[in-house]
Chain A
Amino acid sequence: MIRYTLQRLVQSLIVILAVVTVVFLLVRLSGNPAQVLAPLGATHADIVAIGDRLGLQHPLYVQYLTFLSQIVRGDFGTSYGFQAPVVQLLATALPYTAELAFVAFAFASIVGVSLGTISAVKSGTWIDGVARFIGLIGQSVPVFWLGIVFVLVFAVKLRLLPAFGAGGPEHLILPALALSLRPMASITRLSRSATLEALRADYTLFERSKGVKQSVLMRHLLRNMSLPVITLTGIQLADLLSGSVVIETLFGWPGMGLLAIQAINLRDYTVVQGVVTVDTIIVVLMNLLVDLSYGWLDPRVRRRVFA
Chain B
Amino acid sequence: MAIQPQLDLLTDSPKAAAVPQAITEPGRRNRRGHSHRPYFSGGILALFILAGLIGPLIAPHSTTHVSLSLYLRPPVFAGGTWAYPLGTDELGRDVLSRLLGGARISLLVGLSVVFISGAFGLVVAMISGYIGGRIDAVLMRFTDATLAFPTILLAIVLAAIFGASEQNVIIILAVGGWASYARVIRSEVLRLKKQDFIVMSVVMGAGPLWIIRRHLIPNVMSTLVVLATLQLGAAILSEGAMSFLGIGVPPPAPSWGGMLAGGSDYLTTAWWLALFPGIALSLTVLASNLMGDWLRSRSDPTGHR
The chain A residues found within 8 Å of chain B, CB to CB, are 11, 15, 18-19, 23, 26-27, 29-30, 36, 120, 123, 132, 136-137, 139-145, 148-149, 151-152, 156, 182, 185-186, 189-190, 192-194, 196-197, 200, 227-228, 231-232, 234-235, 237-239, 241-243, 245-246, 249-250, 260-261, 263-265, 267, 269, 272-273, 275-276, 279-280, 283-284, 287, 291, 294, 298, 300-301, 304-305
Contacts and interface: CB of A to CB of B under 8 A. Distances in A.
Contacts of A280: 149, 153
Contacts of A273: 157
B282 A132 contact: no
Contact of B289 (A140, A193, A305): A140
Q: Select the residue from A26, A185, A193, A249 with max chain B CB neighbours within 10 A.
A: A193
A246 B18 contact: no
A269 B244 contact: no
Contact of A148 (B1, B15, B246, B260): B260
A27 B278 contact: no
Contact of A263 (B160, B260, B268, B271): B160
B75 to A, nearest CB: 16
A148 B267 contact: yes
Contacts of A260: 156
Contacts of A15: 145
Q: Select the residue from A132, A232, A284, A301 with max chain B CB neighbours within 10 A.
A: A232
Nearest to B281: A142
30 contacts: A18-B145, A26-B157, A36-B161, A139-B9, A140-B282, A142-B260, A142-B285, A145-B278, A148-B274, A151-B264, A190-B23, A193-B24, A193-B27, A197-B24, A227-B21, A228-B19, A228-B23, A231-B19, A234-B15, A238-B149, A241-B153, A243-B1, A261-B247, A263-B160, A264-B156, A264-B160, A273-B157, A283-B149, A298-B19, A300-B20
Interface stretch (B86-94, B107-115, B233-241): B233-241
Interface of B: 1-2, 6-9, 13-15, 18-21, 23-28, 30-32, 141, 145, 147-153, 156-162, 233, 237, 240-241, 244-247, 257, 260-261, 263-264, 267-268, 271, 274, 277-278, 281-282, 285-286, 289-290
B141 A283 contact: no
Contact of A241 (B30, B150, B157, B282): B150
B8 to A, nearest CB: 5
A127 B64 CA distance: 47
B8 A120 contact: no
Contacts of B247: 261, 264
Q: Select the residue from A228, A267, A280, A294 with max chain B CB neighbours within 10 A.
A: A228
Contacts of A249: 244-245
Contacts of B264: 144, 148, 151, 250
A140 B267 contact: no
B153 A279 contact: yes
A148 B9 contact: no
Q: Select the residue from A237, A239, A300 with max chain B CB neighbours within 10 A.
A: A239
B102 to A, nearest CB: 13
Contacts of B14: 235
A261 B245 contact: yes
A29 B161 CA distance: 9
B282 A142 contact: yes
Contacts of A267: 160
A14 B149 CA distance: 13
A243 B242 CA distance: 11
Contact of A30 (B1, B15, B162): B162
Contacts of B30: 123
A36 B263 CA distance: 31
Given A156-B267, A261-B245, A200 B6 contact: no
What are the 10 A-B residue pairs with the smallest beta carbon separation, nearest first? A145-B278, A140-B286, A196-B27, A242-B152, A238-B150, A193-B25, A272-B160, A140-B285, A228-B23, A190-B8
A144 B157 CA distance: 21
B156 A272 contact: yes
A246 B1 contact: yes
A304 B17 CA distance: 11
B246 A261 contact: yes
B241 A142 contact: yes
A19 to B, nearest CB: 7
Given A136-B289, A246-B1, A264-B156, A227 B19 contact: yes
Given A26-B158, A144-B244, A232-B8, A284 B233 contact: no
A223 B42 CA distance: 39
Contact of A242 (B151, B157, B246, B290): B151
Contacts of B24: 193, 197
Nearest to A152: B267
B26 A272 contact: no
B239 to A, nearest CB: 10
A237 B149 CA distance: 9
Contact of A235 (B147, B261, B281, B285): B147
A246 B245 CA distance: 7
A208 B290 CA distance: 36
B284 to A, nearest CB: 9
Contact of B27 (A120, A151, A231, A245): A120
A86 B141 CA distance: 32
Contacts of A196: 26-27
